[in-house]
Amino acid sequence: MDWKNYKIIFMGTPEFAAVPLKALKNQGFNICLAVTQPDRKKGRGKKLLPPPVKTKALELGIEVFQPEKIKEPESIKKLESYSPDFLVVAAYGQILPKKVLDIPKFAPINIHASILPFYRGASPIQHVILNMEKETGITTMFMDEGLDTGDILHIEKTKISKNDTTKTLHDRLSILGADSIIYTLKNFNQIKRQKQDDKLSTYAPLLKKKDGHINWKESADKIEAKIRAFDPWPGTFTFLDDNRLKVFSVEKTSNQSSATPGTIVNTEETRLIVSSGDFDLMIKEIQPAGKKKMTAAQFLKGYDISQGAVLN
């Protein structure tokens, strides 16, 4: 069967999924339905907003379906009515039951943002940066009922730079995901499925806001990696007395002070330097609660910060 005749149901929710959806449509694939999460209230005004996949699908003239629960009989019946050849899934946000996975004629295919079997789970992009990995990638996989345990179809890799944040790596991987799913679908009949080695598997659990709390006892490299991994969400923070400070960027110095980790060891020449588990760190951007993000120099000018104070 020629790929141009494939009938595809696309399932995804965030911006990461909107990129491959657009790429598939522009490439000429027949996307008969886009399934995404319901509109949710977001922001301070709690305004009802559509997910990025819905916005992109409507721009592309694709019908949208937003079931509260995909496992409900009426939802399954709706999907079955399209008789799709493939389900293409990218960060949809709900677990797909076997009845849904069995709907497509050929395969349910997931676009996962890691090199499987490493970093299965909800937050692979953050965790590869957090763990200071040198590379990551996209895996397209034949979905089963497990958590990212299905057979591998195709892998594309990319290097992780020392300056990558979750935002920059996310954007690069979403484009790579688009390229990977196009390759996978066009070559589906020639691709040999490869079973994952479960003994090698690692897990990337969903992150919570509290996970952003900086532990100054960790190494400078680990702290710096955490700040990049948690950018833009959930962000990293510390406390000076009872004041919450959000930290956006730091730079490792060549100095190793003997002060207790978290101690502000230097505030001279508009520099804000803090001790860690090994090398001192120079904080470059910071945000006090209720204020805008500012440079360390701006922070020191507006706040009375004494050398020897301890962040915790």
Does residue 286 sit in the same domain as residue 238?
Answer: yes
Report pTM. 0.95
**Which CATH number fits the domain that encloses residue 169?**
3.40.50.170
| pLDDT of res. 37 | 98
Query: Does 110 share its domain with 24?
Result: yes
* Predicted pLDDT at 31: 98
In a domain, 309, yes or no: no
Q: From residue 52, how far is each of 17, 58, 70, 128, 272 by CA, in Å?
A: 8, 10, 18, 24, 39
169: domain range? 3-200
Q: Both 27 and 119 in a single domain?
A: yes
Do both 135 and 82 map to the same domain? Answer: yes
What is the chain's alpha carbon radius of gyration, rounded to the nearest angstrom?
23
- Point out the domain boundary residue: 166, 200, 234: 200
For residue 112, report the phi and psi dihedrals to the nearest 5 degrees: -110, 135
pLDDT, residue 311, reads: 97
Out of 178, 200, 222, a domain closes at: 200
Burial class (CB in 10 A: 0-12, 13-18, 19+), 259: middle
Which amino acid, residue 2?
A: D
Is the distance from CB of 207 to CB of 234 less than 8 angstroms? yes
In this prediction, residue 306 carries a pLDDT of: 86
pLDDT at 236: 98
Q: What is the pLDDT of residue 296?
A: 95
Q: Is residue 310 part of a domain?
A: no
Question: Looking at the domain assignment, is residue 267 inside a domain?
Answer: yes
Q: Report pLDDT for 91.
A: 97
Same domain flag for 27 and 89: yes
Considering the domain boundaries, does residue 92 fall inside one? Answer: yes
**Which of 181, 200, 219 is the endpoint of a domain?**
200
On whether both 154 and 238 belong to a single domain, the answer is no
Q: Are residues 173 and 214 in the same domain?
A: no
Is the same domain home to 10 and 121?
yes
Give the CATH number for residue 230.
3.10.25.10
118 and 224 co-located in one domain: no
The continuous run of DSSP H or E covering 123 comes out as: none
User: Does a structural domain hold residue 311?
Assistant: no
Residues 217 and 180 in one domain: no
pLDDT at 153: 98
Same domain, 49 and 148: yes
- Domain count across the chain: 2
Which residue ranges in the chain fall short of pLDDT 70?
none
Looking at residue 45, its pLDDT comes to 78
pLDDT at 44: 75
**CA angle at 205 for the pair 203 and 211, rounded to the nearest 5°:** 130
CA torsion sign for 181, 182, 188, 190 is negative
Does 150 share its domain with 168?
A: yes
Q: Answer yes or no: is 205 within a domain.
A: no
